[in-house]
């Protein structure tokens, strides 16, 4: 039965150690080793860039490089093959540290027989191949997720376009308002999926990267100029999973829209403030506090805050429940919504 051949790049400047390793590898019966030797790092990098090797046996201390700089540079310039570090008895700590820098294993020279070296090489190659397969699977998953986010965004765009077409055909004021509000909710989700499609992180998003764009879109929609209403943002860089960020976006959409539509009649000047930060007063590690406030005319007495009739406020209440959060409303000097939920 013919043995499998393994191409080895042996990077070692000691003739004695080279001869010892060659002898030990020649005693391995289940593999045939095609060994290429290089005595410094420059030659090793040149060889590895020009030829595919199954395994690299790399001494850390070479004439032109020493210590962990050797593995760092080799792994950066030649990432095509797994590396096993060769160390002396006094350098075992460096061998362990080298694993964190990309090596698959380390061997202390002169302490292993042919079987031990063969096993180390086999396991290093198997781990390397498995890691490559997992990385390929992860890349495929990321491409699939990007495609899904892209399609969701496109579908939301189509729905938004259909609502705009319907808007042009409707003359009833209430119906037009409902269509316009529905379009704003869709746009708030569309912004999320557009950012996800362009992001490297497909599972979560920073609320700081999302909310300013959403709120800016609302100000443009309601033709709000800076001299009329001043916007204050205090948004911490917090990463949320997609479900939470969709809920937060829809809540902010409803509450900021209400401020822009109703809080400042007759071009009355005022302030709108949006804050999203860790709730350090209650639980600094796990709780987020979200605040939307304005110093406008306030909510009319005819509106029952605890049992609202408007779809927007009902939606806010449902979304807060979806976040397993709580909401408090302060109607002194305008309107303030305080929402807390666990990350």
pLDDT score at 63: 92
Report yes or no: 106 and 84 within 8 Å, Cβ to Cβ.
yes
Phi and psi for 9 in degrees, rounded to 5? Answer: -105, 110
Element (H, E) at 42: helix 41-50
Domain locations in the chain as residue ranges: 4-112, 226-343
The predicted model scores a pTM of: 0.60
Contact 257, 268 (CB under 8 A): no
| DSSP output for 107-162 | EETTS--HHHHHHHHHHHHHHHHHHHHHHHHHHHHHHHHHHHHHHHHHHHHHHHHH
226-343: CATH topology is Heat Shock Protein 90 (3.30.565)
The whole-angstrom distance between residue 94's C-alpha and the CA centroid of its chain comes to 32
What local confidence, expressed as pLDDT, does residue 2 receive? Answer: 45
Burial of residue 341 (CB within 10 Å: 0-12, 13-18, 19+) is buried
User: Would you state the structure tokens that stand for residue 119, as one six-digit string?
Assistant: 């096993």
User: Residues in the chain, how many?
Assistant: 343
The CATH homologous superfamily for domain 4-112 is: Response regulator (3.40.50.2300)
Tell me which DSSP letter residue 267 carries: G
Q: What is the pLDDT of residue 273?
A: 94
CA distance 257 to 318: 17
Predicted confidence at residue 285, as pLDDT, reads 62
Q: What is the pLDDT along the chain (343 residues), one digit of tens a residue?
A: 345 688 889 999 989 888 888 888 888 777 788 889 999 999 999 998 888 899 999 998 899 998 889 889 888 888 888 888 888 766 778 778 888 887 888 888 767 666 778 788 888 888 888 888 888 887 787 788 778 877 888 888 888 888 888 888 888 888 888 888 888 888 888 888 888 777 777 678 888 988 998 888 888 887 765 568 899 999 999 988 888 888 999 999 999 998 988 888 888 889 999 999 986 565 556 789 999 999 988 887 767 777 777 888 889 999 999 999 999 988 888 899 999 998 7
């Amino acid at each position: 039965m013919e043995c499998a051949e393994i191409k080895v790049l042996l990077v070692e400047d000691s003739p004695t150690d080279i001869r010892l390793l060659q002898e030990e590898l020649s005693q391995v019966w289940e593999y045939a080793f095609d060994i290429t030797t290089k005595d410094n790092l420059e030659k090793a990098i040149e060889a590895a860039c020009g030829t595919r090797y199954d395994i690299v046996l790399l001494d850390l201390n070479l004439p032109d490089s020493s210590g962990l700089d050797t593995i760092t540079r080799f792994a950066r310039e030649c990432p095509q093959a797994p590396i096993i570090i060769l160390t002396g008895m006094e350098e075992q700590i460096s061998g362990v540290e080298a694993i964190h820098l990309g090596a698959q294993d380390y061997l202390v020279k002169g302490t292993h027989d042919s079987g031990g070296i063969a096993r180390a090489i086999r396991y290093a190659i198997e781990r390397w191949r498995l890691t490559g397969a997992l990385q390929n699977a992860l890349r495929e998953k990321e491409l699939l997720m990007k495609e899904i986010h892209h399609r969701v965004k496109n579908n939301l765009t189509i729905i938004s376009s259909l609502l705009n077409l319907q808007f042009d055909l409707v003359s009833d004021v209430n119906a037009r308002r409902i269509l316009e509000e529905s379009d704003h909710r869709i746009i708030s989700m569309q912004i999320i999926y557009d950012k996800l499609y362009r992001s490297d992180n497909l599972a979560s998003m920073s609320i700081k990267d999302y909310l300013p764009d959403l709120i800016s879109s609302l100000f443009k929609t309601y033709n709000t100029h800076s001299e009329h209403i001043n916007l204050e943002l205090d948004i911490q860089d917090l990463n949320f999973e997609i479900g939470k960020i969709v809920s937060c976006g829809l809540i902010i959409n409803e509450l900021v829209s209400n401020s822009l539509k109703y809080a400042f009649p007759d071009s009355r000047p005022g302030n709108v403030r949006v804050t999203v930060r860790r709730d350090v007063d209650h639980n600094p590690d796990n709780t987020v506090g979200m605040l939307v406030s304005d110093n406008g005319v306030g909510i009319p007495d005819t509106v029952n805050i605890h049992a609202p009739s408007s779809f927007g406020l009902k939606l806010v209440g449902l979304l807060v429940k979806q976040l397993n959060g709580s909401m408090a409303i302060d109607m002194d000097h305008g309107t303030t919504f305080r929402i807390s939920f666990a990350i």
